[in-house]
RNA sequence: CGGGGCAUGGCGCAGUCUGGUAGCGCAUCUGCUUUGGGAGCAGAGGGUCGCAGGUUCAAAUCCUGCUGCCCCGACCA
């Protein structure tokens, strides 16, 4: 591609709307433009990378035996009413009416449509298993779209749905997708982890996320430093401390703590570490009566874990100030388990391991010091209620946990019968009985991958594309092109040769100063740069530099194609 | 949905408090010079100051309403 003819505008200044680096660089490099909140156009340069990502996804889905189809973006409300999600889904679901006042949705996902297809097309267990996928535009009316295409409202997703006659087949189909996903992300050159995830409201027995590691990621992931254990912090188990609880050594004392209503204020006032303070939270119970949750002061409540307790309302809600007062006789900030009666109490395992601790006295601005379980109050039921923190022992039994951040680019589920049962998608088994099919579903955020790749691969000057998803692999930079016929002759010839060899070359034949060409090549993130300058003309050399390298190297004009091929590695078809 | 903020040429911003002929940088166009790290000089084009009312001799500026967007929080397969 001749850059002089390519429609692209790079921008020096960072647009004020962009907060994260990938969004800034995608705008500056001219990959995307914003059309409305969370809605973007992909310009030709950005689309080249998007298509390369899609191509890898399709190749690996096809390799895994899945079949591509295409479902509509606009779906009739009837299907959503049938599955129950017309009322369950909430405001993220964009609903609209046609001219006949019929209800439709802009699909945020396609379980209903694919299940409808399956029940019409699949009649016998002999047609199973089968896996359908599509690459489609989805719409989720996010409350707060942000980070460019990373959390957009309209986005491109690869979604796949598998159908099975029995659990074993479902597990096999799931494993095949797990492997296909692993291959895809490896091929894209991304540093990612496969992590255990919360199946959430969808249910099912297995669910894993594929997380691209990046400091700006929205998800927290716990990984072991000694094996391959990785889980979303939402569900990573916090093991109970192994050491027995120390015996009490201090007397229980009431002390005034004016104005100290947070653990930080309390710890500062009493000059004790937060680990010696007990945090008491009051949440709504499933039957209307509040529930008290006790945590060590430095730990955070894990809502996903807590709302799985039957006594606690799901979803989890903090009790109102009035309910807290009614239950404890005190406002939040001085609540504690001593003398707390009339409501159920759960304590995190780490809280139960404390001795001689500080806790609220259920009287405004008063706390206890030297509090101890059993001696001063009943020992409550233990539960895993907290987020794991760095340094916790790994649930795998090996090593300690570290907390890293990730961008969720893929998620695979074993759905089970939720949709097939609701929508009556059955097949006849060997005995001729109608059984609902088992389903798996498997998503990949295609547009999000592009942003995630940039979050993970950039520097001060711009993007650094991994070769397999680079919009162009080689940037050919001739210097003094307009004045030097020798440079032009050499650069034209090299451009023709590389293009003929099937390499994606961006030929910067613009009449601009060298600094502009270098800066743009680096902003766009083209991995390999070849400079044709008068310096090397007489010596018969060209100049090569990888986008990550700090220095250039000379190489011979003769055999230039072979030299570059050796540097391109995965840019060539296998 | 709660809180905070912004809206002035394609982009980034000043001007608003204290009303008086709309400005700067980048980008764009023309000419000359320059050509190994985002060039210099000279010139040019481009803005109903988000929208609608109101106050005033006069509104980007003051008042009212609306819309869009950004940030924090809450929410979220």
Cβ proximity of A468 and A571 under 8 Å = yes
CATH code, A375? 3.90.960.10
What is the pLDDT at residue A144?
81
Sign of CA dihedral A563, A567, A568, A572: positive
Range of the domain at A139: 14-236+403-454
The nt closest to A146 (CA vs C1′) is: B70
Mean pLDDT of A390-410: 93
For residue A193, whether the previous peptide bond is cis, meaning omega lies within 30 degrees of 0, is no
Q: Is the CB of A333 under 7 A from strand B?
A: no
What is the pLDDT at residue A382?
92
The number of folded domains in chain A is 3
Provide, in whole angstroms, the distance separating residue A455's CA from nucleotide B60's C1': 39
Q: Is the CB of A461 under 7 A from strand B?
A: yes
What is the pLDDT at residue A203?
57
CA distance linking residue A436 with residue A428, whole number of Å: 9
Domain identity same for A89 and A55: yes
Mean pLDDT of A11-33: 90
Residue that is last in its domain, among A426, A454, A482: A454
Provide, in whole angstroms, the distance separating residue A22's CA from nucleotide B22's C1': 35
Give the C-alpha distances (Å, rounded to integers) separating A512 from A477, A521, A547: 11, 13, 21
**Which CA-bearing residue is nearest the C1' of B28?**
A9
- ipTM (interface predicted TM): 0.90
User: What confidence category does residue A571 fall into, taking pLDDT thresholds of 50, 70 and 90?
Assistant: very low
What is the pLDDT at residue A288?
77
A562: left (phi over 0), alpha (psi -120 to 50) or beta: alpha
The nt closest to A9 (CA vs C1′) is: B27
CA distance linking residue A26 with residue A29, whole number of Å: 5
User: What confidence category does residue A200 fall into, taking pLDDT thresholds of 50, 70 and 90?
Assistant: low
Provide, in whole angstroms, the distance separating residue A153's CA from nucleotide B71's C1': 18
Average pLDDT for chain A:
92
User: What confidence category does residue A515 fall into, taking pLDDT thresholds of 50, 70 and 90?
Assistant: very high
Task: Reply yes or no on whether the pLDDT at A529 is more than 70.
Answer: yes
Domain identity same for A56 and A165: yes
What is the pLDDT at residue A517?
97
Domain identity same for A300 and A427: no
Domain identity same for A446 and A504: no
The torsion angle over the Cα atoms of residues A239, A243, A249 and A254, rounded to 10 degrees, is 0
Task: Reply yes or no on whether the pLDDT at A572 is more than 50.
Answer: no
Q: Write down which residues 118-137 in A have CB closer than 7 A to strand B.
A: none
Mean pLDDT of A456-471: 95
Mean pLDDT of A378-398: 92
Domain identity same for A155 and A41: yes
Mean pLDDT of A148-159: 92
Domain identity same for A212 and A319: no
User: What confidence category does residue A519 fall into, taking pLDDT thresholds of 50, 70 and 90?
Assistant: very high
**Residue of higher predicted confidence among A478 and A282:** A478
Protein contacts on strand B: list nucleotides below 7 Å from a Cβ: 1, 11-13, 25-27, 34-39, 68-77
Q: Is the CB of A533 under 7 A from strand B?
A: yes
**Residue of higher predicted confidence among A520 and A307:** A520
Domain membership of residue A396 (yes or no) is: no
Q: Is the CB of A488 under 7 A from strand B?
A: no
Domain identity same for A295 and A366: yes
Domain membership of residue A394 (yes or no) is: no
What is the pLDDT at residue A234?
87
The nt closest to A207 (CA vs C1′) is: B77
Q: Is the CB of A92 under 7 A from strand B?
A: yes
């Amino acid at each position: 591609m001749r850059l002089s003819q390519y429609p692209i505008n790079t921008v020096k200044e960072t647009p004020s709307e962009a907060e994260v680096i990938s969004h800034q660089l995608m705008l500056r490099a001219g990959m995307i433009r914003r059309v409305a909140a969370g809605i973007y156009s992909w310009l030709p340069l950005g689309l080249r990378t998007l298509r390369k990502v899609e191509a890898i996804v399709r190749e690996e889905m096809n390799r895994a035996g899945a079949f591509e189809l295409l479902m509509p973006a606009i779906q009739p409300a009837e299907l959503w009413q049938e599955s129950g999600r017309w009322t369950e889904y909430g405001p993220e679901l964009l609903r609209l009416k046609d001219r006949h006042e019929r209800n439709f949705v802009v699909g945020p996902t396609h379980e209903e449509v694919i299940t409808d297809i399956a029940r019409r097309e699949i009649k016998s267990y002999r047609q199973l298993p089968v896996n359908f996928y599509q690459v489609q535009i989805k719409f989720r009316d996010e409350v707060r779209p942000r980070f460019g295409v990373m959390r957009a409202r309209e986005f491109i997703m690869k979604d796949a749905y598998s159908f099975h006659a029995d659990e074993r087949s479902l597990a096999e189909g799931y494993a095949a997708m797990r492997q296909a996903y692993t291959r895809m992300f490896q091929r894209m050159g991304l540093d990612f982890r496969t992590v255990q995830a919360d199946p959430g409201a969808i249910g099912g027995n297995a669910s894993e996320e594929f997380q691209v590691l990046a400091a700006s990621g929205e998800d927290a992931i716990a990984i072991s430093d000694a094996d391959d254990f990785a889980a979303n912090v939402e569900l990573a188990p916090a093991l109970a401390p192994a050491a027995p609880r120390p015996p009490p050594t201090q007397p229980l004392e009431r002390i005034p703590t004016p104005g100290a209503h947070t653990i930080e204020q309390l710890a500062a006032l009493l000059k004790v570490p937060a680990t010696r303070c007990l945090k008491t939270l009051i949440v709504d119970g499933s039957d209307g009566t509040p529930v008290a949750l006790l945590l060590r002061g430095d730990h955070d409540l894990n809502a996903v874990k807590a709302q799985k307790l039957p006594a606690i309302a799901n979803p989890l809600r903090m009790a109102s100030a009035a309910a807290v007062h009614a239950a404890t006789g005190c406002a939040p900030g001085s609540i504690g388990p001593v003398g707390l009666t009339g409501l159920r109490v759960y304590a995190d395992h780490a809280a139960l391991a404390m001795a001689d601790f500080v806790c609220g006295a259920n009287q405004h601005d008063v706390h206890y010091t030297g509090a101890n379980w059993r001696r001063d109050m009943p020992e409550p039921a233990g539960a895993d209620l907290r987020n794991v923190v760095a340094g916790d022992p790994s649930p795998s039994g090996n090593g300690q946990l570290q907390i890293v951040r990730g961008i969720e680019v893929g998620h695979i589920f074993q759905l089970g019968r939720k949709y097939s049962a609701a929508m009556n998608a059955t097949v006849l088994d060997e005995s001729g009985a109608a059984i609902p099919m088992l389903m798996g579903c498997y998503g990949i955020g295609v547009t999000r991958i592009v942003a995630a790749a940039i979050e993970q691969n950039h520097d001060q000057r711009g993007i650094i594309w991994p070769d397999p998803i680079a919009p162009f692999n080689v940037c050919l930079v001739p210097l003094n092109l307009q004045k030097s016929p020798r440079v032009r002759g050499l650069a034209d010839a090299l451009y023709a040769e590389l293009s003929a060899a099937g390499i994606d070359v961006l030929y910067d034949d613009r009449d601009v100063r060298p600094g502009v060409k270098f800066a743009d090549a680096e902003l766009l993130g083209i991995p390999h740069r070849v400079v044709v300058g008068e310096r090397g003309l007489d010596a018969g050399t060209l100049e090569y530099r990888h986008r990550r390298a700090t220095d250039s190297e000379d190489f011979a004009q003769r055999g230039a194609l072979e030299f570059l091929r050796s540097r391109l590695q995965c840019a060539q078809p296998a």
